[in-house]
Amino acid sequence: MQVLLWLLIPVAAGLLATIYLAIKYRPSRPANAHKGMAGLAKFKAAMTRPIPTHDDKKNKK
């Protein structure tokens, strides 16, 4: 009976490790299309804005 108990410990540890890894490395859910398109629109708007220039006269005191 004690042999079965000692065999149960590694089997249980293996099962718990398998469950943990299955949960940890499961595939991610698909992205929300509306959120993705809104983010793309923000990115495009940011890319079309002109780059601010530094005026040397304002920075000098």
Q: Is 53 helix (H, G, I), strand (E, B) or coil?
A: coil
CA distances from 44 to 19, 23, 35 (A): 42, 36, 14
pTM of this prediction exceeds 0.85 = no
Q: Quote the pLDDT of residue 22.
A: 94
- For 60, the token pair is 């000098």
- For 56, the token pair is 């040397």
Q: Which residue has the tokens 């890894």?
A: 21
CA–CA distance, 11 with 37 (Å, rounded to integer): 47
Amino acid symbol at 24 = K
- In tens, the pLDDT along 11-59 reads 999 999 999 999 999 888 777 889 889 999 999 999 998 888 777 556 5
